[in-house]
Amino acid sequence: NKDELMRMKAQRRPEYRERIPIEGKFGQGKYGYRLNNIRAKRADTSVAWINSIFLVMNLLILMRVFICLRNLAAKIASWVTKKSMPREIPFARACQFSSNRNSYLAARI
């Protein structure tokens, strides 16, 4: 019996950890997006409101991820450009690269 209780306790722990973020999202929907104040007359309208609120919450997360990835890609591109672009062109002495904050422009000396 003691082994069974230990096994059940060990099984409940991962299940509890899985539920924490899900319940947190419902709490965010209730208090942040007024999910508990929906006053629709029909059940299907109420379901549509709830679905649209969760859609907006997911779109905000995707937008945040997209912005982070875009910024990361810009930093990587800037780093690669700085490492691979020559500061001087050996075969053209009249032209040299001058660095301007984020871009490199060919400028005459």
By mean pLDDT, which of 9-13, 49-53, 61-65, 76-80 is the weakest? 76-80
pLDDT digits (tens, 9 = 90+) for 73-98: 888 888 777 766 655 555 555 554 45
Greater model confidence, 10 or 33: 10
Greater model confidence, 98 or 10: 10
- pLDDT over 80 (residue 51): yes
Give the residue from 38, 19, 39, 20 showing the smallest Cα distance to 30.
38
Domain ranges of the chain: 1-37, 42-109
By the 8 A CB rule, do 96 and 86 touch? no
